[in-house]
Amino acid sequence: MSVKNQIFKLREKLHEHNYNYYVLNNPTISDYEFDMLLNDLKKLEESHPNYFDHNSPTQRIGGEITKSFENSKHLSPMYSLDNSYSLEDLKEWEKRIKKIVTQPISYTCELKFDGISINLLYENGNLIKALTRGDGISGDDVTSNVKTIPTVPLKLRGFTNIKFEARGEIVMPIKGFNKLNEIRYKEGKELFKNTRNTASGTLKLQDSSEVASRPLECLIFSIKNKDLFNNHENFLNNAGKLGFNIFKEFSISQSLEDIFKFIKYWENKRSELPFEIDGAVVKVNDYVQRDKLGYTSKFPRWAMAYKFKPQEIGTRLNSISFQVGRTGSITPVANLEPVELAGTIVKRASLHNSDFIKKLDIRVGDYVYIEKGGDIIPKITKVNQSLRPVNSLALNFISNCPECGNKLTKLENEANHYCFNEDNCQPQVVGRIQHFISRKAMDIDGLGQETVSLLVRNGLIRNYADLYDLKYEQIVVLERMAEKSANNLIQGILRSKNISFERVLYALGIRHVGETVAKKLVSHFSSIENIINADFDELILVDEIGDKIANSLIDFFNDSYNMKIINRLKERGLNFTSNLTNKKTSSLLLNKSFVISGVFKNYSRDALKKFIETNGGTIVSSVSSKTNFLVAGDKMGPSKKIKATEFGAKIISEFELEKMIFPKQTLF
């Protein structure tokens, strides 16, 4: 047999064994035998690179490094789902669709997996591209990482030359998640919080070999091509023959009452499933009827999600402690009798602020009920006062900082108490530096929570500007700081000088200035000097900048200590200007703000946005008293039109916008 045929035969055999093991759960050879075949193939491919195939079973091992994930457009939009919470909600949905479809309707119902939506593009039976949902129109290209997931077919078993998209959910099974956390615990690493966030973070790791080491699974719930299957029942029963992993538990009926029984059964049995679910999805079975029903601007009319109520359990509140955040905000925390909830042991829950405690009249010793918001964050929902101890006393909120003893302040129109001893309150000092070095900010390698605390305790840093004055000789002598760690830290600090301005601005930790707001400010003002010199009226002209953010920016830059820190960072070479600002072609629309809404005949919304911005105009997301124009397309919601009339904004068409910019010609 020729080398080429050996390689092809081995690939075919390994694809088949992979399908038997991961999709059918019926392995026909041992793991050892599989590994031996894989090694044989790997050696042959390495010796004969001219037979390389992106979809070879050896590519599941990973190894490709992706520095950034490029954005790519879906062939067809990935819509979100409208939600329901009761049988009555589902019946109301049924009434609406029966006004459009008069024939009998059959429904399918599947479990709603709590993971990350994925879009897989296949052509000639091969996986070509894998995209995240993104904004529904385009998503991030995570192909190299998705290829490492065993339940994603790289080559379809039933060859089809049809180009189509398969939609599914990438999940992390609970068993694999727990095992992953056991390993992290032994290694002294921070534990992952939940399966969904862990799956999401894993999918965006730069090293695909690390993705391959984590237990991800892909469950397919639809195929965007009517030539393959004529209805959803047909898809559910037969898509597995192509190699797709289809969850076997689903229901098909013409009765919503029967569908609802299926939903309630799995709501009660959800803890017995191998992965997390947060509800179920009811769909019209027939694809012709789906075409007739169509879509709203956000949702398919032919599908409805049913959301489960969060699981709730009671336990005893043993004590209340108080934490100090990086902004000086004081957060009361309930220390609970440990209890299992939605697959994890819950010991603590945030009590938010003094107003929340007063509202529920929460006291130490109370029997409280907790649930997980979105099945993730534990929160107290109510108190069983009949079980309250007889000697119970109402809680008096602390008046002094639990860390530095400084007098606390409760700001007008804010629920939180604050410690304003920001330069000498250690949790605030450490918290601001931790925020500065975080992955979405300066992303400094070699620096973690413990290292920051170590540097602060030893008096080497008091603020984030001090990081850029650190010397190798100062840190190599510290406890648990070997030569390699010290060198990595210094190199990480030096590399951070290349971080873009919007991330530097976010890293400064200005109250109310998150990632999105930082990007908006940088796009609008282009330099730190322009932001510092902007007055209140100039700031609130920026999309999404309201009174609270504008005042916070002004207060931050009016503080002489903050300005001293910024000047030190400038001297150390950090980026405080942007190279990404839009070049203006004219100032025809200067100081005019626009809202774009609806579907347009000749131009995409992005094209309209670009021409407004390059001619000096500003795009805002919602109609307010600051809006000058509403550019209205087809299928625009009535609320925006009502608001535009109310606030005196002029409603114009895409053609009227054309005339404003180019009176005698079109935009293109």
Alpha-carbon dihedral angle through residues 136, 138, 139, 140, given to the nearest 10 degrees? -170
Distances (CA, A) of 108 to 98, 251, 299, 628: 16, 6, 17, 47
| Closest listed residue to residue 384, CA positions, set 392, 376, 372 | 392
User: CA–CA separation, 80 vs 220, rounded Å?
Assistant: 16
User: CA–CA separation, 84 vs 95, rounded Å?
Assistant: 14
By the 10 Å C-beta count (0-12 exposed, 13-18 middle, 19+ buried), 270 is classed as: buried
Q: Which two tokens stand for residue 650?
A: 């002029």
Alpha-carbon dihedral angle through residues 311, 313, 319, 322, given to the nearest 10 degrees? 10
User: CB-based contacts of 255: which residues, under 8 Å, 6+ apart?
Assistant: none
Q: Helices 174-186 and 195-203: crossing angle, nearest 10°? A: 80
User: CA–CA separation, 370 vs 377, rounded Å?
Assistant: 10
Amino acid at residue number 241: K
User: CA–CA separation, 342 vs 22, rounded Å?
Assistant: 26
Are the C-beta atoms of 214 and 202 separated by less than 8 Å? yes
Amino acid at residue number 521: L
Residue 112 among the catalytic residues: yes
User: CB-based contacts of 61: which residues, under 8 Å, 6+ apart?
Assistant: 148, 209, 212
User: CA–CA separation, 621 vs 612, rounded Å?
Assistant: 14
Alpha-carbon dihedral angle through residues 547, 552, 558, 563, given to the nearest 10 degrees? -140
User: CB-based contacts of 171: which residues, under 8 Å, 6+ apart?
Assistant: 113, 114, 115, 116, 195, 196, 199, 216, 217, 218, 219, 275, 276
Strands 618-619, 593-597: parallel, antiparallel or unpaired by DSSP? parallel
User: CA–CA separation, 490 vs 447, rounded Å?
Assistant: 10
Q: Collapse the DSSP code of 160 into the 3-class scheme (helix H, G, I; strand E, B; otherwise coil) and give the result.
A: coil
User: CA–CA separation, 82 vs 84, rounded Å?
Assistant: 7
Q: Which two tokens stand for residue 386?
A: 């009949």
- Strand partners for 394: none
User: CB-based contacts of 229: which residues, under 8 Å, 6+ apart?
Assistant: 223, 235, 238, 239, 287
Place of tokens 């919304």: 605
Distances (CA, A) of 111 to 219, 273, 275, 299, 354: 11, 11, 11, 18, 39
**Which of the residues 112, 129, 155, 519 is marked catalytic?**
112
Amino acid at residue number 286: D
User: CA–CA separation, 61 vs 143, rounded Å?
Assistant: 13
Q: What is the CA radius of gyration of the chain?
A: 29
What are the catalytic residues? 112
